[in-house]
Amino acid sequence: MVLRKARFKHLMMFILPAALLIAVFVLYPTIRTITLSFVGEDGKLTLSNYKEVLTSKDIVDLRGFERGFPFGALIHNLMWIAIHLPLTTFLGLFLAVILRNIKGGTIIKSIIFLGMVMPMIVGGIMVRFMFEENVGVVNMVLGVFGLTTQTWTAYPESALLALIFGSTWLWAGFSLILYSAGLETIPKSYYEAAQIDGASPVRMFFNITIPLLKPITVVVITMTLLWELKIFDIVYVATMGGPGGASNVLALQMYMYGFREWDFGKAAVVAVLITLSTLVAAVPMIKSAGDEAE
């Protein structure tokens, strides 16, 4: 497509308002946070904030490997990714494939998508609620099978896991919807041709469906990673990072440093840490946007 050369009045009208707001409320604060992270209490440039934060047991607590949770917010975020990412991605794909030929599949899809629609603050209450000893639905199910029931968010070993599984319940709708949309775009003729060649459904799944869904998978993984790294509301209402810091995450720790201790230097360091990891996660997205912009 040939682009027209913009004249000054075009820039003023189309671009300037957006560019200005982004510059003032997004770019400037981002740069300011980076500089803040290098400024010490005395106002001089220093690495002491980084040293203090990175050695803090709030962020990484290696004792966790001997005695169990907490491991520190950074490791908790990594664990969140390690469990939640494959779980939601596969679950979404699996459900998308199954629900395609089910009577009332759209209703089930809508039900599962509900978790995506509700505010995460409510999501956190729901998660806390389902793992509650007396009123929680998880314990009802466990009780039916005669298993131990407890308030899962109250124990250091299970608090983080409960939040992770609860957030799977909330987030699975995302990959489900994306994969469902992706499946629609695969021409039926591909399958018909393969069927004539005598391919089994499993084979077709691996040889046609998965490769053709690759662009979607990239998006699902990227967005899910971003979501996991930014996780805040759920933890804030469900456990506030407890017990004993066993379900603490980076975003919550940043808030604690910044808006409870009012220590902006340390808060800035944690913010930079989160941002670096989200940028790494977003590389494919940024690259494709950069290529497209040519």
Partner 1 sequence: MRKLLVLMVILLTVLTFAKITVIVPWSGAELDKFLPVISAFQEKTGIEVEYKTYRAEDLANILPAQFAAKKAPGDVIFMWTSFLAKNTANAVELSDVVLPSNYLSGALDNVTFNGKIYGFAYTAKVKPGFWYRKSFFEKYGLTPPKTWDEFVLLLKYLKQIPGLKAPIASGDGVGWPLSDITEHFLITFGGPELQKDLIEGNISWKSYTVRKAMDKLTFLLKQGFFSEPIEWTTVLKQWWNGEYGLYFMGSWITGMVDDPDDLGVFSLPGNQGMVFGIDYAFVPKFSKNIDEAKKFVAFLASAEGQTVQVAQGGHIATVLGVPEMAYPTVDREVAKLLIGVQSLNDLDDSIGGLWQPAFWDQLKLLWVRPERLDDVLETLEEKMPK
Partner 2 sequence: MTKKRIWVKVFLNIFAWFIGLIWILPVIGILMTAIRPFDEVINGWWHFKEFTPTFSNFINALNHPTAPLIVGMKNSLIIALPATILPLFIATLAGYGISRYHFPLRKGLIIAVVLTLALPQQMIAVPIFQMMSSLGLVDTYMGLILLHTAWGIPWITFFMRNYFKTMPISIEEAARIDGASDFQIFYRVVLPNIFPAIASASALQFTWVWSDFFLALILIYSPDKLLITQRVPLMRGVYHVDWGLLSAASIMVMIVPILIYLLLQRYYVKGMVGWTIK
Question: Which of 274, 225, 272, 268 has its CA nearest to residue 249?
Answer: 274
Q: How far is the CB of 34 from partner 1 (least distance, A)?
A: 25
Binding positions for partner 2, 106-145, rule CB under 8 A: 107-108, 110-122, 125-126, 129-130, 132, 134-137, 139-140
For residue 106, CA distances in Å to 96, 142, 154 come to: 10, 29, 36
Could you write out the DSSP letters of every residue in 92-144? Answer: HHHHHHHHTTSTTHHHHHHHHHHHHHS-HHHHHHHHHHHT-TTT-HHHHHHHH
How does DSSP assign 211-249, residue by residue? HHTHHHHHHHHHHHHHHHHH--HHHHHHTTT-STTTT--
Do residues 224 and 89 touch, judged by C-beta distance below 8 A? yes
Please choose which of partner 2, partner 1, none residue 32 contacts, taking the beta carbon within 5 to 8 angstroms, the exact cut-off set by kind: partner 2
- Closest CB to partner 2 among 74 and 112? 112
Of the pair 163, 178, the CB lying nearest partner 2 is at: 178
* 3-class SS of residue 45: strand
Of 88 and 139, which has the nearer Cβ to partner 1? 139
Residue 177 contact among partner 2, partner 1, none, beta carbon within 5 to 8 Å by kind:
partner 2
Cβ of residue 3: shortest distance to partner 2, in angstroms?
4
For residue 65, the minimal CB distance to partner 2 (Å) is 27
Task: State the burial class of residue 22 (Cβ atoms within 10 Å of its Cβ: 0-12, 13-18, 19+).
Answer: exposed
The footprint of partner 2 on residues 248-267 (CB under 8 A) is 250-251, 254-255, 258-259, 264, 267
Q: How far is the CB of 150 from partner 1 (least distance, A)?
A: 6
Output the smallest distance, CB 51 to partner 2, in A: 19
Q: Kindly tell me which residue out of 46, 56, 150, 275 binds partner 2, with binding defined by CB under 8 A.
A: 275
β-pair partners for 39: 45
Nearest CB to partner 2, comparing residues 41 and 63: 41
Binding site for partner 1 (CB under 8 A): 57, 63, 67, 132-134, 150-151, 154-156, 240-246, 256, 259-262
Angle between helices 156-185 and 120-130 (to 10 degrees): 120
Q: Does 281 sit near partner 2 (CB under 8 A)?
A: yes
d(CA 155, CA 159): 6
Q: Taking CB under 8 A as the rule, does residue 62 contact partner 2?
A: no
- The rounded distance, in Å, linking the Cα atoms of 227 and 174 is 11
**Residue 82 binding target from partner 1, partner 2, none, CB below 5 to 8 Å by type:** none
Q: Which is nearer to partner 2, 62 or 110 (CB)?
A: 110
Which of partner 2, partner 1, none is residue 238 near (CB under 5 to 8 Å by kind)? none
CB of 23 to partner 1, least distance (A): 26
Binding mask 212-251 for partner 2 (x = CB under 8 A): ---xx--x---x--x--xx-xx--xx------------xx
Nearest to 209 by CA among 189, 222, 191, 192: 191
CA nearest neighbour of 159 among 140, 135, 126, 132: 132
Q: Three-state SS for 104?
A: coil
* Total residue count of the chain as it appears in this document: 294
Residue closer to partner 1, measured from CB, 8 or 262 = 262
